[in-house]
Amino acid sequence: MASENLTASSYIQHHLQNLTYGQHPDGTWGIAHGAEEAAAMGFWAIHLDTMLFSIGLGILFLWLFRKAAKKVSVDTPSGLQNFVEMMVEFVDQSVKETFHGKNKVIAPLALTIFVWVFLMNLMDLVPVDFLPHLATLLGVPYFRVVPTTDLNATLGMSISVFILIVYYSIKVKGVSGFVGELTLQPFGKWMIPFNLLLEGVGLLAKPVSLALRLFGNLYAGELIFILIAILPWGIQWALSVPWAIFHILVIVLQAFIFMMLTIVYLSMAHEDH
């Protein structure tokens, strides 16, 4: 943490603050030393810790799966190969049961989403003081290690899914079919403004719900770990271990939900009314 003499309130605020880089009001560029400085940097500020861990974990995912693919063996499969095959079969089966169109992109996309989100969520099991304390020793004031507790990251992923939804909706149904879905249902051509309002809200709610569901669950989990860390040492262990075991379920479940909703939304985009 930044200081051993932090109050409980300061401790919580410190651990919920991202390492933000951007332009200060005086025109200089640098790291924000507090929430007020970060807010003053505006929209174009970058959360360096979120970028570091999300990109790093994405590279780790690619490296592990590529390593397993290069050393694949039918006779003597390694533990890594067995794990990768299990993940691929699990995701492939989920796609076959949920996606009703024909698209070779969906299964790899679902696999990437599930494993990547799971790895980012998994960082929530790292002790809350460990990496931030190491960062403080190196002169880094803030260091959040769970990318999915940053709304910018979850919104970025959900907006990417939203772009795919719109793209495949137009590709499969055409521009007229896509516009017709938004304007002619459920009440027909005489209620076009009302139809557009209902369908437009429903369409925009998809990326918002994806982002907020993942962010809210992981943010709450991180906050509980931080609150436990404030308590006396003995109580910390009595509470943190059961919560960590339960949180493993949350970590896996949220990655699975994000993947499944992505598949469902893209399946809906492929359905031609």
Q: Where do the domains of the chain lie?
A: 48-270
Active-site entry in 169, 209, 240, 267: 209
Active-site entry in 78, 213, 240, 267: 213
The answer to whether 78 is a known catalytic residue is no
Do 63 and 165 form a contact (C-beta atoms < 8 A)? no
Q: 234 versus 156: which is more confidently predicted?
A: 156
Name the pLDDT band for 4 (thresholds 50, 70, 90). Answer: low
Tokens of 240: 């943190």
The answer to whether 158 is a known catalytic residue is no
Give the three-state DSSP class for 99.
Answer: coil
Reported pTM: 0.91
What residues contact 243, with CB distance under 8 A and at least 6 apart? 224, 225, 228
Range of weakest confidence among 30-39, 186-195, 210-219 = 186-195
Q: In the chain, what percentage of residues exceed pLDDT 70?
A: 98
- Separation CA 247–CA 156 (nearest Å): 24
- Separation CA 1–CA 260 (nearest Å): 37
- Separation CA 228–CA 238 (nearest Å): 10
Over residues 103-107, the mean pLDDT reads: 92
- pLDDT tens column, 200-252: 898 999 999 999 999 999 999 999 999 999 988 888 888 988 999 999 999 99
DSSP 271: -
Beta bridge partners of 47: 20
The answer to whether 213 is a known catalytic residue is yes
Name the pLDDT band for 5 (thresholds 50, 70, 90). Answer: low
Block residue for tokens 């437009």: 200
Give the three-state DSSP class for 30.
Answer: strand
- Separation CA 268–CA 273 (nearest Å): 10
Block residue for tokens 């006396």: 232
Q: Residue 46 phi/psi, 5° resolution?
A: -120, 135
Question: What pLDDT does 3 receive?
Answer: 43
Active-site entry in 94, 158, 217, 240: 217
Do 154 and 210 form a contact (C-beta atoms < 8 A)? yes
- Separation CA 169–CA 174 (nearest Å): 7
